[in-house]
Amino acid sequence: MTTNDMPRWATAFVLPVLNLLSALLVAALVIHLLGEDPVDSMRILVNSAIVNPEGLSYTLFYASTFVFTGLSVSIAMQAGLFNIGSEGQMYFGGLGLTLAMLALDASLPWWLLIPVGILGAAVFGALWAFLPGYLQAKRGSHIVVTTIMFNFIAASLMNFIIVKYLIPPGEQNTASRVFSAAAEMPRLNTWFPVLGDTPLNVSFLFAIAALAIYGVMVWRSPWGYKLRATGLNKHAAHYAGVKISGMIIAVMAISGALAGLGSVNSIMGSTHYLSLNFVGGAGFVGIAIALMGRQHPVGIFLSSVLFGALIQGGFDLSLEKPNIPTETFIFIQGLIILFCGAMENLYAPVIVKLAKKG
């Protein structure tokens, strides 16, 4: 029994909600076993991450990065490709952004510098994803295997570049120098003081724009039709005139560019320098977001906000509930991936039966 047997409203809404509730119920059981009240814990998490304006600002800040990694995985899935290399592509995109900033932040005004940094992040992310795409299209190398390897290669390469070339003389911190003020993304609290002193910046608006562009390109353009045809049946798409190898390479480059853009929020919007492991697992969270959001713009946004809320609320919850370690929320993320990915059709037979009776 698959999602193909269910009505669209069930696959788009009911099934993801049931899977999410199942993950949260298991998480509630674990919290109970840790000796804490699950209901009170949920109250603290929601108040910290959603109700409190400053907490909501942090939630949206984290979500801004997750939108880009979720889009990165989603657009590859539309072509039938499982790109799990967004982590490395975002890492490499951060390098492109940083090189542009280090070279130009002393000479360009902010209105030129910021677009150049964004372009550098996208280009480097695209280049890092182009290679697995080319190997898949031209040599038949499986995209899952190559993108996994490229994650490790990116981590090792970035470690070498930062330690060897980017650490300022006399500094011990494994990071580049701080960029000039011209390289800082404008923060939204400039226009909305209620958000407090938080790092939420215009990258959030860029993320919303990216979701809209993704929706139009995938479902409202001839190229998007070819993309989805490739994902549904490569042989049929080939006989319909789609150049499969070219589509695979192009989609992977776009996927990598989107992952690279995730570094803009993290670096230009927050730290203002490149550090080791700045990605912090955002590329892997993108996989869960793409699965849970069903590769739909609205679903990707809501899933990104959910994972942002788990991070933000998790910090405060672990402080107020000492029996709940911060690692618990990594476990909850894993549960969501499990129920929305490997077990996504758990409730499909029941929903199909109910739909037929209705």
DSSP characters for 29-83? Answer: HHHHHTTS-HHHHHHHHHIIIIISHHHHHHHHHHHHHHHHHHHHHHHHHHTT---
Residue 233 DSSP symbol = -
Give the CA diameter of the chain.
Answer: 73
The mean pLDDT value for 114-118 works out to: 97
The CB density around residue 186, as the number of other CB atoms within 10 Å, is 14
Q: Is the pLDDT of residue 306 over 70?
A: yes
Average pLDDT of the chain, as a whole number: 92
Rounded CA-CA distance 102/177 in Å is 8
Q: Is the pLDDT of residue 2 over 70?
A: no
Q: Is the pLDDT of residue 41 over 50?
A: yes
The mean pLDDT value for 259-278 works out to: 96
Q: 103 in a domain, yes or no?
A: yes
Q: 327 in a domain, yes or no?
A: no
Residue 65 to residues 45, 166, 225, 284, Cα–Cα distance (Å):
20, 24, 27, 12
Rounded CA-CA distance 215/296 in Å is 7
Q: 328 in a domain, yes or no?
A: no
Tokens of 249: 């390479």
Q: 200 in a domain, yes or no?
A: yes
Q: 86 in a domain, yes or no?
A: yes
Rounded CA-CA distance 107/292 in Å is 44
Of 92-96, 298-302, 317-321, least confident by mean pLDDT is 317-321
Chain centre to alpha carbon of residue 169: 34
Rounded CA-CA distance 352/10 in Å is 9
Contact (Cβ atoms closer than 8 angstroms) between residue 34 and residue 317: no
Q: Is the pLDDT of residue 10 over 70?
A: yes
* Residue 14: per-residue pLDDT: 82
Q: 32 in a domain, yes or no?
A: no
Q: 82 in a domain, yes or no?
A: yes
Q: Which spans in the chain are helix H?
A: 8-9, 15-33, 38-46, 53-78, 86-104, 110-134, 143-161, 203-219, 222-232, 234-239, 244-266, 282-292, 297-320, 327-337, 348-357
Range of the structural domain that residue 273 is part of: 64-289
Contact (Cβ atoms closer than 8 angstroms) between residue 136 and residue 142: yes
Is 2 exposed, middle or buried, given 0-12, 13-18 or 19+ CB atoms closer than 10 A? Answer: exposed
* Residue 7: per-residue pLDDT: 74
Tell me which residue of 210, 238, 190, 236 sits closest to 297, measured CA to CA. Answer: 210
Of 198-207, 256-265, 303-312, 321-330, least confident by mean pLDDT is 321-330
Three-state DSSP at 260 gives: helix
* Residue 358: per-residue pLDDT: 62
Contact (Cβ atoms closer than 8 angstroms) between residue 231 and residue 76: no
Q: Is the pLDDT of residue 3 over 70?
A: no
Rounded CA-CA distance 127/257 in Å is 8
The mean pLDDT value for 179-187 works out to: 96
Contact (Cβ atoms closer than 8 angstroms) between residue 92 and residue 253: no
Contact (Cβ atoms closer than 8 angstroms) between residue 347 and residue 5: no
Residue 156 half-sphere exposure toward CB, CA atoms < 13 A = 5
* Residue 65: per-residue pLDDT: 98
Rounded CA-CA distance 165/175 in Å is 10
* Residue 5: per-residue pLDDT: 64
* Residue 1: per-residue pLDDT: 47
* Residue 70: per-residue pLDDT: 97
For the chain, the domain total comes to 1
Q: 299 in a domain, yes or no?
A: no
